[in-house]
C-alpha cells in the first residue's frame, strides 16, 4: 500500500471521552470516532493526546497531529 490512507484532523473531548476526527484520504470522507469503532478495514485501537492508533488484521497505522 503506498501513501497514507488516513489523516488525523484533530481530537475533541466528548464528555469523559476523546473522539478523533479522521479523514479517509482516498474516499475523501471524514469520520468522527471513539476508541473501538471501525473505519473501513481498521479499528480505532487507541486515541491518545497526540496520536491515534488504527489496527487491521495485517497492519498498524499511527496517525499524528
| Structure confidence by residue, pLDDT tens digits, 23-57 | 999 999 999 999 999 998 999 999 998 999 999 99
Residue-level pLDDT at 1? 41
Place of cell 498498524: 60
> Are 47 and 64 within 8 A, CB to CB?
no
pLDDT band at 4 (very low <50, low <70, confident <90, very high): confident
pTM comes to: 0.88
Predicted confidence (pLDDT) at residue 7 exceeds the cutoff of 70? yes
Average pLDDT over residues 3-30: 92
Sign of the CA dihedral with 58 first, then 39, 36, and 22 last: positive
Amino acid at each position: 500500500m503506498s501513501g497514507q490512507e488516513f489523516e488525523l484532523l484533530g481530537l475533541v473531548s466528548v464528555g469523559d471521552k476523546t473522539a478523533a476526527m479522521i479523514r479517509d484520504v482516498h474516499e475523501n470522507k471524514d469520520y468522527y470516532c471513539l476508541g473501538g469503532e471501525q473505519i473501513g478495514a481498521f479499528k480505532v485501537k487507541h486515541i491518545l493526546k497526540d496520536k491515534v492508533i488504527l489496527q487491521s488484521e495485517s497492519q498498524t497505522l499511527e496517525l499524528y497531529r
